[in-house]
């Protein structure tokens, strides 16, 4: 790591050791024809990606002591397109579950969606308006386990019905968990189409209905975990709005945010808030 003052979003030595083997293996598979190893350390590339996720800055506004946009975006896009970001995320997720004395893959997941405003410049062809929530932008769908760890991510136009998000999430859940998931909890925004699709995958989808006498936000047993995860993601300012031109980049941002969170969880660190940044020791 270059000699510079660390930022709160930087990975510590212990946290980097969790990711380094996967990054090194990727680098070995993508050697330059000329043998050039690149001008920037892979740890600094990852730090730049995490810095941008936490602060929400534009590519061109990356700090001068971090790798520039050209290098950082190259790796961000390459890892997004070949699924390396998901591989890193999945391996860390399995480690967190094992530390919690659970099997690598869950038997129960919770599904939910969140509509977020899109920024200026985001292509209109990938956005829409959520009529129920009156939000113009994109719809972010998550499937999480009972620990709040992300199992699947889907990003659609906000105008898409929750059923479309639910069907896509269930397909991802079935693919990512090798058929271990037996039950999925959803709210009343999901309809019978999702229940039927889940049945076809061998997943019992239960629509958790809200009690008529309840007003405001009332945590539902087990379902509250997905709300907690959305709250964690919003600590990453790049996810407060959808700034990405490609929905795949939006999904990648979620994976990197959760990767950052899990490295702290595995090493006993805390996720600093915007107002109370934690001092990072490298």
Mean pLDDT, the chain, integer? 90
C-beta atoms surrounding 230 within 10 Å: 18
Which of 128, 161, 166 shows the shortest CA–CA distance to 174? 166
pLDDT at 279 over 70: no
Which of 178, 202, 203, 175 shows the shortest CA–CA distance to 110? 203
**pLDDT value of position 35:** 61
Q: How confident is the model at residue 218 (pLDDT cuts 50, 70, 90)?
A: low
Predicted TM-score of the model (pTM):
0.90
pLDDT at 274 over 60: no
**pLDDT value of position 273:** 55
For residues 218 and 266, the model is more confident at 266
Identify whether the C-beta of residue 43 lies closer than 8 Å to the C-beta of residue 1. Answer: yes
pLDDT in tens, 87-105: 999 999 999 999 999 999 9
What percent of the chain clears pLDDT 90, i.e. is strictly above it? 79
Measured CA to CA, the distance from residue 82 to residue 22 in angstroms comes to 13
Q: Classify residue 149 by its DSSP letter.
A: -
Measured CA to CA, the distance from residue 91 to residue 79 in angstroms comes to 15
Return the domain boundaries, the chain. Answer: 103-244
Type and span of the H or E element at 51: helix 42-55
pLDDT at 269 over 50: yes
Superfamily of chain region 103-244: Ribonuclease H-like superfamily/Ribonuclease H (3.30.420.10)
Q: What is the mean pLDDT of residues 60-67?
A: 93
In whole angstroms, how large is the CA radius of gyration of the chain? 19
**pLDDT value of position 178:** 83
**pLDDT value of position 219:** 63
pLDDT in tens, 136-157: 999 999 999 999 999 999 999 9
Measured CA to CA, the distance from residue 2 to residue 75 in angstroms comes to 18
Sort 183 into a burial class: Cβ within 10 Å, 0-12 / 13-18 / 19+.
middle
The stretches of 30-83 forming alpha helices (DSSP H) are 42-55, 69-82
């Amino acid at each position: 790591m270059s000699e510079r003052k660390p930022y709160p979003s930087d990975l510590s030595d212990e946290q980097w050791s969790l990711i380094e083997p996967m990054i090194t293996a990727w680098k070995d598979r993508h050697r330059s024809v000329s043998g050039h190893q690149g001008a920037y350390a892979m740890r600094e590339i990852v730090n730049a990606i995490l810095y941008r996720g936490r602060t929400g800055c534009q590519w061109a506004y990356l700090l001068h002591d971090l790798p520039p946009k050209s290098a950082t975006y190259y790796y961000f896009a390459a890892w997004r397109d070949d699924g390396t970001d998901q591989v890193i995320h999945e391996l860390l997720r399995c480690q967190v579950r094992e530390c919690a004395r659970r099997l690598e893959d869950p038997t129960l997941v919770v599904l939910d969606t969140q509509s977020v405003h899109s920024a200026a410049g985001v292509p209109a062809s990938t956005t829409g308006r959520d009529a129920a929530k009156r939000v113009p932008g994109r719809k972010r769908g998550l499937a999480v386990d009972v620990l709040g760890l992300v199992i699947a991510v889907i990003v659609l136009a906000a105008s898409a019905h929750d059923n479309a998000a639910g069907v896509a999430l269930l397909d991802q859940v079935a693919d990512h968990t090798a058929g271990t998931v037996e039950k999925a909890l959803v709210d009343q925004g999901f309809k019978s189409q999702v229940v039927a699709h889940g049945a076809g995958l061998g997943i019992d989808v239960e629509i958790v209905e809200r009690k008529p006498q309840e007003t405001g936000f009332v945590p539902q047993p087990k379902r509250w975990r997905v709300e907690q995860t959305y709250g964690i993601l919003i600590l990453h300012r790049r996810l407060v709005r959808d700034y990405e031109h490609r929905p795949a980049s939006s999904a990648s941002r979620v994976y990197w945010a959760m990767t950052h969170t899990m490295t702290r969880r595995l090493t006993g660190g805390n996720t600093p808030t915007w107002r109370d940044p934690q001092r990072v020791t490298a």
